[in-house]
Structures are given as C-alpha cells and as structure tokens.
C-alpha cells in the first residue's frame, strides 16, 4: 500500500477549524483508494510567534524538506503584523522549496450562486497561474529618514527571465490539457521596465505553443472582464501581485472565497509542494465553527493529484460537488447555516457513498 508522509500546519484562526475536515476527507479517500497518509503536525502559528518570537523554528525549513507534501490551513492573526506572519512562514517555504507556481482554480459549481447575474454552473472554469517566487513580493528595498518629513520607502520588484519563462511554460502546458487558451495579466503601459519584459517573455513562450491561443490584457481591464465575462478565460498567468488579486476576485465570482483552493508547486518535484486554501485565517468568524471547509478539502484533492492519486482526487471533487448540487449542508458564506464539521462529515459520507 502506498504511504505518504505529510507535514500539517493548521496555523491560525479558521485554519485550525477547517484542517480537521480536510484530514477527515483525505483519510476517507485513503481507505477507499488504498493509500495511507502519516500526518506530522507542526504548531507553527502567530500564537507560537507570541511565545517564541518566531513563526517557525530556525531549522523549520530543514524539518519540512523530506516530506512528500505540506498541507497548510492559514496563518495570520491580529496582534502579529501580517508581514511578519507571511514572511516568517509562508514566503520562506514557497521560496526555499522553489514552489514557483501558485495554481488557483476557480470553477462555478452547481448549487452555488455567483454574485454575478446570469452566470450558470459550468460556464466559469478557469485556472489562475500565479508566479510565486519573485515579482512584486520582494525583500529588496528599504526605508530612509524614518519619522521625519523626508521619510521614504523603496520596494524593488524583480522579474527574471528564468522566473518568467518557467511559470509561463507551466501555464501553456496546463492549457494543453484544458481548452488551449492562455491569457497574460500585464500592465506594460504603466510599469515600463518589468512589464514590457514580462510581455516579451510571454510572446516568446507563446511562439513555442502554436496550438494554444494566447492573449494579454492590462490588469485593470482584466479585472473588469473577470466580472463581466469570466467565461472568456481558461488559464490566466500573472505576476505574484496580479495573480494574488485576480484569484481573490475569481474566488468571489464563483461564489465564495471559502471554496477556493490552491497549490504551491515545485513542478520538478525536487522539494515538497504545499497545498492550502486561498483564504486567510478569517479572524472575524474564527472560533465559531462556521468556516467553510471546502477550500481546505479541495486543496487536499489537489495534493492527492500531485502525489499521483488522481482517481482519489476526482472522487473528492465529485463528493463536494454533489453535496453542493444536492443542496446538502452548507456554511453561512454559501447561504446555509451548517457548521464546518457538518459540511466535512457530509462530504466524507458522500465520498464513501459515491464509490
């Protein structure tokens, strides 16, 4: 029987509430598809930071290196500045393990209402491929004359040929398995060095994929098109910042950020990849047991896909899709009144029944 060694970081807030449901569904899938997962839990969080002064131990990355994958809930909590929680845990993991693709599917599922008028299930089905290692998220820069009238901040974005090419290549390869269409998010009219360079790399990459339709939009009108014509898009590739913003927008367009999953991939598999919901720790609803666990569960399905268990991954997707389509239990973000646990249990039961 295949066995996978998974590092589990539930993190903060609702991360701790949705993680048990993610594990429940993965355990169920393992029983049905003949694999086991051994979970090793790491209590790395803002709470740990307040006790130890670190989001993760000094040797944290070394301790994660040998796992088959990392399954993460969410990190961030009031009392710890967001740049500390992000740069103390998530970003080091994404970078040290060359997880340069942040893959974020957005699909309008049956039984879920889009906030947009006239959108029907099946019509919106797109993949955001976000560059995850460089771009606008950079620790190159500094501040000068702090606290004076001359106070200033400089933040350096970095775009490398290697970094652009590898994420764009991933996007085109993905499109070949879908509807053969890649859209690039740019802003080369306003950001006049890095974005024209991004456009050049995209033109060069698209020339190698003549079987795929390639187009590009400036990020501002692209955001408008996501609202007006989300069905136009198949694979959308963007820089770290643009991809981040577009994926919260696409998650909202398909009904709720509570269902949006993501994978931080090292496609070469030299390092573990990490799977986590798009959403954060949601302090406004944390502790109430009402967070939607579907984003965590779907992220778990993406992890199984990556580990080489595609049948189990499809079965999980089918299970939560059926629960939604049959108007089964749902949490408040989708207009229901069920708890996190009730939704998780119902998806696990549907998974078992659907075998």
Is there binding between residue 237 and ligand NAI (CB under 6 A)?
no
> Residue 91 corresponds to which tokens in the numbers above?
């970003």
Is there binding between residue 75 and ligand NAI (CB under 6 A)?
yes
Least separation in angstroms between residue 180's CB and Mg ion is 28
Cα distances (angstroms) measured from residue 73 to each of 32, 247, 248: 24, 17, 16
Is there binding between residue 276 and Mg ion (CB under 5 A)?
no
Torsion of CA 280, 16, 271, 246, to 10 degrees: -20
Q: Are 77 and 47 in contact (CB under 8 A)?
A: yes
Q: Which of 333, 338, 344, 348 binds ligand NAI (CB under 6 A)?
A: 333
Q: Are 16 and 73 in contact (CB under 8 A)?
A: yes
Residues within window 250-279 making contact with ligand NAI, judged by CB under 6 A: 257-258, 276, 279
Q: Which of 280, 300, 328, 329 binds ligand NAI (CB under 6 A)?
A: 280
- Judged by DSSP in three states, 58 sits in coil
Instruction: For residue 261, give the nearest of 18, 11, 3 by alpha carbon.
Output: 18
Is there binding between residue 343 and ligand NAI (CB under 6 A)?
no
Least separation in angstroms between residue 157's CB and Mg ion is 17
Cα distances (angstroms) measured from residue 150 to each of 65, 90, 144: 44, 33, 8
Within 10 A of 231 (CB to CB), how many other CB atoms are there? 14
Report how far residue 313's alpha carbon sits from residue 261's, in angstroms, rounded to the nearest whole number: 13
By beta-carbon proximity to Mg ion, the closer residue of 17 and 244 is 244
By beta-carbon proximity to ligand NAI, the closer residue of 53 and 147 is 53
Among Mg ion, ligand NAI, none, what binds residue 281 when CB lies within 5 to 8 Å by partner kind? ligand NAI
By beta-carbon proximity to ligand NAI, the closer residue of 257 and 324 is 257
By beta-carbon proximity to ligand NAI, the closer residue of 206 and 331 is 331
Among Mg ion, ligand NAI, none, what binds residue 76 when CB lies within 5 to 8 Å by partner kind? ligand NAI
Query: What does the per-residue mask of binding to Mg ion show for 236-275, with x meaning CB under 5 A?
Result: --------x-------------------------------
Report how far residue 263's alpha carbon sits from residue 320's, in angstroms, rounded to the nearest whole number: 18
By beta-carbon proximity to ligand NAI, the closer residue of 16 and 201 is 16
End-to-end CA distance of the chain: 19
Is there binding between residue 14 and ligand NAI (CB under 6 A)?
yes
Total binding residues for Mg ion by CB under 5 A?
1
Is there binding between residue 282 and ligand NAI (CB under 6 A)?
yes
By beta-carbon proximity to ligand NAI, the closer residue of 313 and 334 is 334
> Residue 141 corresponds to which tokens in the numbers above?
């820069």
Q: Which of 214, 285, 307, 347 binds ligand NAI (CB under 6 A)?
A: 285
Is there binding between residue 68 and Mg ion (CB under 5 A)?
no
Cα distances (angstroms) measured from residue 57 to each of 48, 95, 236, 273: 10, 17, 36, 19
Question: Crossing angle, helix 294-307 and helix 15-33, to 10 degrees?
Answer: 40
Report how far residue 46's alpha carbon sits from residue 82's, in angstroms, rounded to the nearest whole number: 10
**Residues of the shown chain interacting with ligand NAI in the complex, contacts defined by CB under 6 A:** 14, 18, 74-77, 82, 90, 257-258, 276, 279-285, 291-292, 295, 331, 333
**Residues of the shown chain interacting with Mg ion in the complex, contacts defined by CB under 5 A:** 244
């Amino acid at each position: 029987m295949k066995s996978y060694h998974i590092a589990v970081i539930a993190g903060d807030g609702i991360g701790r509430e949705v993680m048990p449901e993610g594990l429940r569904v993965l355990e169920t899938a393992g029983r049905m598809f003949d694999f086991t997962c051994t979970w090793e839990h790491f209590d790395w969080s803002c709470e740990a930071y307040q006790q130890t002064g670190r989001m993760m131990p000094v040797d944290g990355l070394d301790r994660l290196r040998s796992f088959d994958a990392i399954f993460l809930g969410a990190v961030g909590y009031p009392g710890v500045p967001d740049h500390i929680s992000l740069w103390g845990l998530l970003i080091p993991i994404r970078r040290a393990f060359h997880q340069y693709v942040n893959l974020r599917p957005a699909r309008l599922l049956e039984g879920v209402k889009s906030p947009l008028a006239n959108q029907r299930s099946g019509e919106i089905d797109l993949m955001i491929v976000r560059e995850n290692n460089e771009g606008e998220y950079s620790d190159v820069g500094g501040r000068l004359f702090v606290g004076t009238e001359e106070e200033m901040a400089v933040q350096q974005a970095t775009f490398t040929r290697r970094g652009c090419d590898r994420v764009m290549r991933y996007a085109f390869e993905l499109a070949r398995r879908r509807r053969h269409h890649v859209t690039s998010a740019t802003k080369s009219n306003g950001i006049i060095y890095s974005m024209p360079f991004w456009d050049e790399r995209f033109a060069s990459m698209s020339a190698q994929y003549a079987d795929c339709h390639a187009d590009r939009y400036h990020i501002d009108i692209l955001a408008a098109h996501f609202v007006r014509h989300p069905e136009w898009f198949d694979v959308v590739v963007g820089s770290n910042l643009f991809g981040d913003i577009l994926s919260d927008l696409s998650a909202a367009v398909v009904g709720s950020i509570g269902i949006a999953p993501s994978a931080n991939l090292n496609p070469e598999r030299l390092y573990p990849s990490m799977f986590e919901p798009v959403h954060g720790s949601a302090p406004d609803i944390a502790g109430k047991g009402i967070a939607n666990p579907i984003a965590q569960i779907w992220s778990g399905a993406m992890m199984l896909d990556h580990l080489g268990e595609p049948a189990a991954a499809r079965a999980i997707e089918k299970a939560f899709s059926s629960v939604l389509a049959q108007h089964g239990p749902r949490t408040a973000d989708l207009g229901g009144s069920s708890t996190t646990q009730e939704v998780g249990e119902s998806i696990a039961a549907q998974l078992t029944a659907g075998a």
